[in-house]
Amino acid sequence: MRSASSQDPALVFEPLGPGHASSLFPVLGDVRVWEHLPGSDGATEDHMRAGYARRAAGPGRAGERWINHAVRLPGGPYLGRVEATAHTGEGWAEIAYVFGLAHRGRGYARAAVRWLIGQLEVDEVWACTTPANVRSRRLLEALGFRQEPPTRPLASWDPGDLTYRWDRHR
């Protein structure tokens, strides 16, 4: 398993809830954060709060688990959040991640996604990203994801997206 690396920066992961909207809105409310994610998250703090409440409530479907965490520095600022939908019965998961602009390029997002994968009790993990989202593609490639055509019904796929697969046994 490619799990936490001793080189990774120390991060704190908090199960995401509606109360995180007030901390994460200043970090993720900037439209530039969503440049490659049209139609996503947070036009307003209230919208974000409602989305986090839905995530915390979970899918309400057997065999599917939602994993959502806010990410921050120990005793310090919030950086962003990570999420996964795990299809535990079928052995695969789909992930996404979004981080604010202030602390990019320091390996925090990469470390957080590595941690997230370590939480998933599945062998196969998928992520979708637009071709122009170079930071996201680099992050996935650094963690051992490979660009492959999808073989799973990926909920986060939008037309034109690239799909990346990580395999625990590869």
d(CA 170, CA 163): 17
CB of 152 to ligand COA, least distance (A): 16
Contact 108, 71 (CB under 8 A): yes
Inter-residue contact 14 to 68 (CB < 8 Å) = no
136, two tokens: 């996201």
Query: Could you tell me the smallest distance in angstroms from the CB atom of residue 124 to ligand COA?
Result: 17
Q: Find residue 94's DSSP bridge partners.
A: 85, 126
Q: Identify which of residues 45 and 161 has a Cβ nearer to ligand COA in the complex.
A: 161
Q: Which residue is nearest to ligand COA (CB)?
A: 107
| Cβ nearer to ligand COA, comparing 106 with 169 | 106
Nearest CA to 72 out of 37, 115, 29, 42 is that of 115
Residue 79 C-beta: closest distance to ligand COA, Å: 8
Which stretches of the chain bind ligand COA, using CB under 6 A? 9, 33, 36-37, 80, 96-99, 104-110, 129, 133, 135-136, 138-139
Rank residues 21 and 80 by Cβ distance to ligand COA and give the closer one: 80
Nearer to ligand COA, 89 or 155 (CB): 155
Q: Which is nearer to ligand COA, 97 or 115 (CB)?
A: 97
What is the nearest approach in angstroms of ligand COA to the Cβ of residue 47?
17
Q: Which two tokens stand for residue 30?
A: 């900037």
- Contacts of 103-106 with CB under 8 Å at 24 or more apart are 103/77, 103/79, 104/135, 106/9
The least distance separating ligand COA from the CB of residue 61, rounded to whole angstroms, comes to 22
